[in-house]
C-alpha cells in the first residue's frame, strides 16, 4: 500500500477526502465528544421552532367573516374553535310554560261506573287502556273516545284538555265525573348525543327539563379530558356552547332550561362536522315539519362550507409559497458519507433531533460511511467572543450510542457530516489514480 501511495505521489496524483480538522479558514474548531453531559449543554442553545400560520389551527367553524358571501343570510352564531379557552355562550332563558298536549302524546281517562268500587273501576280502566295503548293524540290533534266521539286536545294545557273532555261528556249525557292525565310524553323532546353513554331523545313532561337532567337521562358525560370538551346546544338556527369544565363548576348552568326541538351535543374536538351530522339527523327525524329550522341548517352548512374552502385556499397558498422558497425556513445541511447529501427543513412547532435528520434522508451510507465519525458542526464563539466552530462528535461504533442521537436537538444551519471509512478513502484514491497509472506505465513501456 505504501508503495502504491508513493507511486501515486510520484505521478502527481492525490485524493482529498473531507474530514474535521482543528482549524478552518482561521476559525478554531473544537471537537466535543457527545455524551449525556455534553448533550445537555448542546441542547441549551436557545431556539424556538417556527410556527405554522394561524390558518392551520383554525377550522371551518372559527369566527370571522369570509369574503364573497354574496346574498347568503347571516351565519348563525358559532363558537370560536381555535385552540384556546372555549367561549361560554349560554342560550337565552326559557320562561316556564304549562305543558301543552301534542301529537303523539297518550292520555288516560278514568271515569266512574254505575257498579263496582272505585278501585275496581279504575283498575279495569287502566287494564283496558294498557291493551289499546291509551288514547293517543292523532296527527289531526284529536283523540277518539268510544261513545263520546272525537275531542281536540293538541295545543291545550292539561286543565284546558279536562275542560274540553268535560264538555264532550256532558253533551253525551254521561256522568261527568272523570280524571285525565298524560301517560306518555311523545310530542316534545330534546335530542342528546355526542360523548354521552347512550344518545337518546329525552321527553319534556309536565315539569321543565334542564340541561343536567337531559345529560343524566343519556347516561351522563363520558370524557377522558374535559379541557377542550364542550356542550353545544342547537336552537332555532343558532349554536350555543358551554365548556364542560365550566358546566360542572357552575350549578346554575346545569339548571339551564331546555325547550322542545333543542339538540344537545357533547363535543370533544373543534370540528363541527360530527355535530352538524347529528343536528341534521335530529332535524330530519324530529323537526321535519319545521321549514324554518331546515333553512337554518342549510344556511349553517353553506357558511361552514365557504369557510372551509377559504381555509383550504389559504393553506394551499402557504404550501405553494413554501415549495417555491418564498417562505422563511430553517434548514440543517447533510454532507459527507450520508445516503443523500441535501438540506433538511426543520419542522414547524417542534424540535428535530439528530436521528430525525439523519434517518429522514436515508441514514449513513453503510458501505462507505464511518459510524465512529459522525459530527454536527455548529457555529459558536470562543471565550473571548471570537467566531468559532463546535464539532459535536457522535461515536456510533457502538449502536447503543444512537440513543444520544434521538435526544440531540438540531439548530438552524447545523451541518451533519459523516467521514468516510479509511478503506473508502484509499479505494477512491486508487480508483481515480488508476487511469493515470496505466497511462504512465504504458508510456514507460513504449519508451
Q: pLDDT digits over 397-436, tens only?
A: 888 989 999 999 999 999 999 998 888 777 777 777 677 6
Say how far apart CA 20 and CA 376 lie, in whole Å.
Answer: 10
pLDDT tens digits for range 100-114: 999 989 998 877 654
Cell of residue 159, nine digits: 286543565
pLDDT band for position 117 (cuts 50, 70, 90): very low
Does 320 lie in the same domain as 229? Answer: yes
Does 369 lie in the same domain as 347? Answer: yes
Distances (CA, A) of 231 to 58, 192, 212, 252: 19, 10, 11, 15
Does 222 lie in the same domain as 155? Answer: no
pLDDT tens digits for range 323-369: 888 888 999 999 988 988 999 999 999 999 999 999 988 888 878 88
The domain boundary residue, chosen from 306, 327, 348: 327
Pairing of strands 331-336, 415-420: parallel
Does 46 lie in the same domain as 171? Answer: no
Say how far apart CA 171 and CA 109 lie, in whole Å.
Answer: 17
Q: How far apart are the first and last CA of the chain?
A: 27
User: Crossing angle of helices 2-10/422-446, nearest 10°?
Assistant: 60
Other Cβ atoms less than 10 A from the Cβ of 445: the count is: 7
Whose cell is 500500500? That residue is 1
Residues paired with residue 155 on neighbouring β-strands, in sequence order: none
Pairing of strands 178-184, 200-203: unpaired
pTM for the full model?
0.43
Whose cell is 337521562? That residue is 217
CATH of the domain at 175: 3.30.1950.10
Name the strands in the sheet holding 263-267, side by side, starting at the edge strand that comes first in the sequence: 200-203, 189-194, 263-267, 230-235, 238-243
**Does residue 373 lie in a domain region?**
yes
The domain boundary residue, chosen from 128, 155, 184: 184
Cell of residue 321, nine digits: 409559497
Say how far apart CA 206 and CA 183 lie, in whole Å.
Answer: 11
Does 244 lie in the same domain as 176? Answer: no
Does 323 lie in the same domain as 288? Answer: yes
Three-state SS at 7: helix
Say how far apart CA 18 and CA 170 lie, in whole Å.
Answer: 112
Does 156 lie in the same domain as 221? Answer: no
- Res 25: pLDDT: 72
In the chain, the number of structural domains is 3
Say how far apart CA 41 and CA 39 lie, in whole Å.
Answer: 5
Say how far apart CA 444 and CA 447 lie, in whole Å.
Answer: 5
Show the domain range for 202: 55-99+188-327
209-234 average pLDDT score: 88
- Res 278: pLDDT: 65
Cβ proximity of 186 and 104 under 8 Å: yes
Nearest to 241 by CA among 253, 233, 229: 233
Question: When comparing pLDDT for 259 and 128, which is higher?
Answer: 259
- Any alpha helices (H) in 172-266, and if so which ranges? 211-217, 244-249, 251-254
Does 350 lie in the same domain as 266? Answer: no
Does 277 lie in the same domain as 200? Answer: yes
- Res 433: pLDDT: 66
Does 317 lie in the same domain as 253? Answer: yes
Q: Is the alpha carbon torsion for 305, 307, 311, 314 positive or negative?
A: positive
**Does residue 60 lie in a domain region?**
yes
Amino acid at each position: 500500500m505504501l508503495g502504491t501511495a508513493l507511486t501515486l505521489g510520484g505521478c502527481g496524483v492525490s485524493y482529498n477526502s473531507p474530514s474535521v480538522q482543528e482549524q478552518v479558514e482561521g476559525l478554531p474548531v473544537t471537537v466535543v465528544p457527545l455524551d449525556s453531559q455534553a448533550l445537555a449543554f448542546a441542547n441549551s442553545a436557545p431556539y424556538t421552532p417556527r410556527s405554522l400560520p394561524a390558518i392551520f389551527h383554525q377550522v371551518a367553524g372559527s369566527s370571522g367573516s369570509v369574503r364573497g358571501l354574496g346574498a347568503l343570510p347571516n351565519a348563525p352564531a358559532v363558537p370560536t374553535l381555535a385552540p384556546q379557552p372555549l367561549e361560554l355562550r349560554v342560550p337565552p332563558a326559557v320562561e316556564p310554560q304549562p305543558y301543552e298536549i301534542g301529537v303523539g302524546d297518550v292520555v288516560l281517562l278514568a271515569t266512574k261506573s254505575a257498579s263496582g268500587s272505585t278501585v275496581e273501576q279504575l283498575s279495569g280502566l287502566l287494564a283496558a287502556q294498557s291493551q289499546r295503548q291509551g288514547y293517543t293524540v292523532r296527527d289531526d290533534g284529536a283523540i277518539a273516545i268510544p261513545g263520546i266521539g272525537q275531542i281536540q286536545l293538541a295545543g291545550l294545557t292539561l286543565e284546558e284538555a279536562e275542560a274540553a273532555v268535560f264538555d264532550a261528556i256532558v253533551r253525551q249525557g254521561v256522568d261527568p265525573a272523570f280524571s285525565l292525565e298524560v301517560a306518555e310524553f311523545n310530542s316534545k323532546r330534546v335530542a342528546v348525543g355526542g360523548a354521552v353513554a347512550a344518545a337518546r331523545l329525552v321527553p319534556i313532561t309536565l315539569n321543565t327539563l334542564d340541561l343536567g337532567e337531559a345529560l343524566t337521562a343519556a347516561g351522563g358525560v363520558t370524557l377522558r379530558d374535559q379541557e377542550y370538551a364542550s356542550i353545544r346546544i342547537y336552537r332555532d338556527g343558532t349554536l350555543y356552547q358551554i365548556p364542560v369544565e365550566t358546566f360542572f363548576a357552575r350549578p346554575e348552568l346545569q339548571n339551564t332550561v331546555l325547550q322542545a326541538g333543542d339538540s344537545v351535543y357533547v363535543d370533544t374536538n373543534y370540528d363541527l362536522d360530527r355535530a352538524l351530522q347529528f343536528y341534521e339527523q335530529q332535524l330530519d327525524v324530529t323537526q321535519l315539519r319545521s321549514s324554518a329550522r331546515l333553512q337554518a341548517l342549510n344556511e349553517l352548512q353553506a357558511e361552514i362550507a365557504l369557510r372551509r374552502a377559504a381555509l383550504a385556499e389559504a393553506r394551499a397558498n402557504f404550501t405553494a409559497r413554501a415549495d417555491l422558497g418564498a417562505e422563511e425556513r430553517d434548514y440543517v445541511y447533510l454532507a459527507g458519507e450520508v445516503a443523500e447529501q441535501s438540506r433538511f427543513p426543520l419542522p414547524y412547532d417542534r424540535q428535530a433531533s439528530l436521528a430525525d435528520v439523519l434517518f429522514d434522508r436515508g441514514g449513513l451510507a453503510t458501505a462507505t460511511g464511518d459510524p465512529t465519525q459522525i459530527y454536527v458542526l455548529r457555529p459558536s464563539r470562543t471565550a473571548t467572543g471570537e467566531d468559532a466552530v463546535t464539532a459535536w462528535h457522535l461515536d456510533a461504533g457502538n449502536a447503543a450510542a444512537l440513543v444520544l442521537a434521538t435526544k440531540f436537538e438540531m439548530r438552524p444551519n447545523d451541518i451533519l457530516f459523516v467521514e468516510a471509512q479509511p478503506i473508502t478513502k484509499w479505494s477512491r484514491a486508487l480508483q481515480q489514480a488508476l487511469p493515470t497509472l496505466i497511462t504512465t506505465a504504458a508510456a514507460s513501456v513504449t519508451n
